[in-house]
Structure 1
């Protein structure tokens, strides 16, 4: 008779986007996807599209999304900062990017009025939003505050 009291988390794979059930205390042990066998925790932002965004947005790990477009100068400035900060939160939040030029339906769905905009979602609910370029330090501090409010 087994009594499994470990807290489980549902995480979407950053490679194949399939949902995986992982024990919360195994997040730091480089868990692999049951489908494609790739790492579930990468520290690199995931490109979200209309086809794969739901799997990530509805997972148990908070998702920090950079809404951007390739023609946007401030977005080009902010992009490297976003990628620089992502690994620091790899075990606590999934960082993702949505190209609002290619995925304008998602930009509209989430009422993005200016870019770059960073928003934090947890189980498909928006928790916080910040528009404009932030330095890596500002982004780190802002994400840290939001995650602390979530208890993550």
Structure 2
């Protein structure tokens, strides 16, 4: 049997099993057809956030932001560039802390923008403040050993 990873769909919350070799082919959710992996940043709601941070078997970096936050808005295109630079081995997502304050309260987030890298249900590392794409990509590669090479 092929190696496969579990990925939570950001749209419908369904957990999908994707063969590792197919991650770069743009896999889609078996229920709703939404993209599961790729260079695009996913928008999460509280339910999808909780399920993905606990259940994803690929590293997941989440941008905790709010629309009123100037540095958050400045960093958004840089986060998207980093997602393209890092590739399909890591999923990039964002969650609006104004719309879902319970998420930021539960994680003791004191300031935004904040990036948290998750892997297999555990918080791996945090990076605070607005950063350029190169810093974000370097942060991910530093904390995900299989990407360092």
TM-score, normalising length from structure 2?
Answer: 0.89
C-alpha deviation, 1:83, in angstroms: 1.3
Query: In structure 1, what is the equivalent of residue 135 of structure 2?
Result: 138
Q: Larger C-alpha radius of gyration, 1 or 2?
A: 1
C-alpha distance in 2 between matches for 1:83 and 1:54: 22
SS at match of 1:111: coil
Corresponding residue of 2:123 = 126
Q: Does 1:56 pair with 2:52?
A: yes
Q: Deviations over 1:22-51 (max 9, x none)?
A: 111221233232112343223211112222
Provide the alpha-carbon RMSD of the alignment: 1.6
How far, CA to CA, are the matches of 1:108 and 1:118 in structure 2?
Answer: 15
Q: Look up the match of 1:110.
A: 107
| Residue number in structure 2 paired with 1:27 | 23
- The answer to whether residue 85 in structure 2 is matched with residue 88 in structure 1 is yes
Query: 1:62 and 1:72, CA in 2 relative to 1: closer, same or farther beyond 3 A?
Result: same
**Which moves more between the two structures, 60-69 or 48-57?**
48-57
Gaps of 5+ in 1: none
Query: How many Å apart are 1:13 and its aligned residue?
Result: 2.2
For residue 89 of structure 1, report the CA deviation from its aligned partner: 2.7
Instruction: Find the residue that maps to 2:63 and give its secondary structure.
Output: strand
CA distance in 2: counterparts of 1:138 and 1:16, whole angstroms: 31
Structure 1 segments of 4+ aligned residues over 3 angstroms from their partners: none
Classify the secondary structure of the residue corresponding to 1:128.
Answer: strand
Change (3 A) 1:28 1:128: same
The answer for unaligned runs of 5 or more in structure 2 is: none
Name the SS of the counterpart of 2:83 in structure 1.
Answer: helix
